[in-house]
Amino acid sequence: MIHKEIAVRLIQLLGGEDNVISAAHCATRLRLVIKDEAKIDQEKVEELEGVKGAFSSSGQYQIIFGTGLVNKVYEQFAKELNLDQKETVQHSDAAKGKMNPLARFAKTLSNIFVPIIPAIVASGLLMGLLGMMKAFQWVDPDAALYKMLDMFSSAAFIILPILIGVSAAKEFGSNPYLGAVLGGILIHPSLFNPWGLATASPDVMDFYGLKIEMLGYQGTVVPILLAVYVMSKIEKGVRRIVPNAIDLLVTPFVTIISTGFIAFIAIGPLGRMLGTGITNILTYVYDVAGPVAGLIFGGTYSLIVLTGVHHSFHAIEAGLIADIGRNYLLPIWSMSNVAQGGAGLAVFFLAKRAKTKEIALPAAFSSFLGITEPVIFGVNLRYRRPFIAAMAGGALGAAYVVFMNVAANAYGLTGIPMIAIVAPLGMGNLIHYLIGMAISVTVAFITAFILGINEDEKK
């Protein structure tokens, strides 16, 4: 009944049932698309039982309840609004409709890459286990166990175009199985597999005068993204002109054969060039600017989080892993995240209000586990000074990890859980990562404590 009462009261504070266009939830937040946000009683929403903060971002009004509670509130919220029965546009589309072009692009990439993060993390952990077995000679490299784990660990990266093909096709409104087929075409066994084989060279085939390298796209990102986007346009265009009676036969055939030729002749080579170019530019900046780059990126990452654009970084990180086998961006983001936790911890000790303490402590610890929204929007940004302190801590911690060349072998985890994908690259890599975390948290905590908070000032 408590969750139902919260849901009923929340609907009233949001301006009524008619003011809610659509709703969804993630691990910690209730995500709403609101018709007129001016009708929301912001102050009373934040005072509602269980609410740790509320803010508007990326075309959505987001209310932080925290892990576990958000699911129960959403269940009652959906029942009260009859969301399953209402004929509304999909929540994702509704949210995108209220975003600017940059935010829509970031949201699209996020929707594509977030679902495949578990596969990438699992592969990274398996690679780490394999590396430890080899380094400490636990298993003979010729043993069946070692060979099997080697296959398990590299599989996700080899078939990455297929995984992205499925996810991207869903996002672009195309048939996900056609996306999988297109990804399969780009990594077909007839093509040379560049994954881990840098010394050999592929054959060249003559396609009516065009010289096309028989080179596969295992582990690549940009080629399949571009190819599936073009495929979705072709599929929708063909479906509009093909009679329903023969749609099942004609549309998939025309879509695959057309996109396949375009992918091999133009999209594939162009996408590979773009992906490699992005990697080279980032690596050049990383090598030349060094700790200064870490200082800037680590200090400003929290500001990027406020815009929602940070979700698009998964695509860049996946490209780094594919091209150079290591992700040197994620440790920078991680330093910024844990610094927010350090500042939130300072707020817990500084605060006089019981409500503030109640929110600050669990929110700070959640940021150490990689979930930063509760501490950013519910605590630090509310009092401003702790947010600035966290930026300082993140900047110094990031400068350190860049100086020590700390990297990860996957993406999707920050804070303490990220240890699992940092350790596989060596004990020194792990130690410097932990030192960077200590610097970020300590600097943020001390700075926030010195700056203090004013609990009486209006937000």
Band of pLDDT at residue 307, cut at 50, 70 and 90: low
CB 374 within 8 A of CB 279: no
141 and 217 share one domain: yes
Q: Which of the pair, 102 or 428, is modelled with greater confidence?
A: 428
Over its C-alpha atoms, the chain yields an Rg (Å, rounded) of 24
C-alpha pair distances (Å), 294 with each of 73, 234, 331, 395, 448: 39, 42, 10, 7, 21
125 and 272 share one domain: yes
Share of the chain above pLDDT 90, in %: 35
Is pLDDT above 70 for 278? yes
pLDDT at 90: 56
Domain boundary, last residue among 65, 98, 131:
98
- Express each pLDDT in 249-275 by its tens digit: 899 999 999 999 999 999 989 988 888
- Mean of the pLDDT values across residues 112-130? 82
The verdict on residue 309 lying in a domain is: no
160 and 71 share one domain: no
- Mean of the pLDDT values across residues 387-404? 96
The verdict on residue 303 lying in a domain is: no
How many domains in the chain? Answer: 3
62 and 93 share one domain: yes
- Express each pLDDT in 223-253 by its tens digit: 999 999 999 999 999 999 999 889 988 999 9
125 and 266 share one domain: yes
217 and 238 share one domain: yes
Residues whose CB is less than 8 angstroms from the CB of residue 236 and which lie 6 or more positions away in sequence, other chains included: 173, 174
The verdict on residue 206 lying in a domain is: yes
- Express each pLDDT in 173-196 by its tens digit: 899 999 999 999 999 988 887 765
CB 379 within 8 A of CB 57: no
247 and 158 share one domain: yes
332 and 433 share one domain: yes
Separation of alpha carbons 252 and 231, rounded Å = 10
189 and 93 share one domain: no
432 and 344 share one domain: yes
The verdict on residue 289 lying in a domain is: no
- Among the listed residues 11, 21, 26, 139, the single catalytic one is 26
Average pLDDT value over all residues in the chain:
86
87 and 148 share one domain: no
- Express each pLDDT in 8-55 by its tens digit: 999 999 998 888 888 888 767 888 888 888 899 988 888 888 888 888
* CATH number of residue 20's parent domain: 3.30.1360.60
Residue 27, domain extent: 1-98
Asked if 26 is an active-site residue, the reply is yes
Band of pLDDT at residue 87, cut at 50, 70 and 90: very low
Band of pLDDT at residue 200, cut at 50, 70 and 90: low
pLDDT at 291: 93
130 and 262 share one domain: yes
N-terminal to C-terminal alpha carbon distance within the chain: 31
- Mean of the pLDDT values across residues 348-377? 86
Domain boundary, last residue among 45, 71, 98:
98
- Express each pLDDT in 428-457 by its tens digit: 999 999 999 999 999 999 999 999 988 765
Lowest-pLDDT choice from 27-31, 69-73, 299-303, 449-453: 27-31
- pTM for the model stands at 0.74
Separation of alpha carbons 388 and 384, rounded Å = 6
C-alpha pair distances (Å), 279 with each of 65, 194, 319, 402: 38, 17, 7, 16
